[in-house]
Amino acid sequence: MKRRDFIRKTVSLGAISGAAMALGKYQEIFASENFRNALPFDMVAIKGGEPDVMFDKAIASLGGMKQFVKPNQKVVVKPNIGWDTSPERAADTNPILVGRIIEHCKMAGAKDVYVFDNTCNEWTRCYRNSGIEAAVKKAGGIMVSGDSESYYHPVDVPKGKILKKAKVHELILESDVFINVPILKNHGGSRLTICMKNLMGVVWDRKFWHQNGLHQCIADFATFKKPSLNVIDAYRVMKRNGPRGVSVADVVHMKYQLITTDMVAGDAAATKVFGLEPAQVNHIALAEALGVGTGNLESLNINRITL
DSSP 8-state class, residue 130: T
Ramachandran angles phi, psi of 196, nearest 5°? -70, -40
What pLDDT shows up at residue 28? 31
Give pTM, 2 decimals: 0.89
Nearest to residue 194, comparing CAs of 220, 154, 222, 228? 222
What pLDDT shows up at residue 233? 98
Please give the full DSSP string across 254-282, using - where no structure is assigned.
EEEEEEES-HHHHHHHHHHHHTS-GGGSH
CATH number of the domain that residue 285 is part of: 3.40.50.11440
In a domain, 4, yes or no: no
Contact 117, 81 (CB under 8 A): yes
What pLDDT shows up at residue 38? 77
In a domain, 21, yes or no: no
In a domain, 3, yes or no: no
H helix or E strand, kind and range, residue 79: strand 74-79
Domains contained in the chain, number:
1
In a domain, 32, yes or no: no
What pLDDT shows up at residue 37? 55
Ranges under pLDDT 50 in the chain: 1-36
- HSE value, Cβ hemisphere, 13 Å, CA-based, for 247: 1
What pLDDT shows up at residue 122? 98
Which range marks the domain in which residue 268 is found?
A: 45-306
Distance from C-alpha of 142 to C-alpha of 10, rounded to nearest angstrom: 7
In a domain, 26, yes or no: no
Report the alpha-carbon angle 118-202-302, nearest 5: 120
Burial class (CB in 10 A: 0-12, 13-18, 19+), 191: buried
Q: Which residues contact 196 (CB under 8 A, 6 or more apart)?
A: 218, 219, 221, 222, 263, 264, 267, 283, 284, 287, 292
Ramachandran angles phi, psi of 152, nearest 5°? -110, 140
Strands (E) across 144-299 are located at: 152-156, 165-169, 177-181, 183-187, 191-193, 229-238, 251-260
Express each pLDDT in 192-233 by its tens digit.
999 999 999 999 999 999 999 999 999 999 999 899 999 999
What pLDDT shows up at residue 225? 85
* 67 three-class SS: helix
Give the distance from CA 234 to its chain's centroid. Answer: 13
> Largest alpha-carbon pair distance within the chain?
49
The one-letter amino acid at 95: P
Distance from C-alpha of 160 to C-alpha of 190, rounded to nearest angstrom: 18
Express each pLDDT in 128-154 by its tens digit.
999 999 999 999 999 999 999 999 999
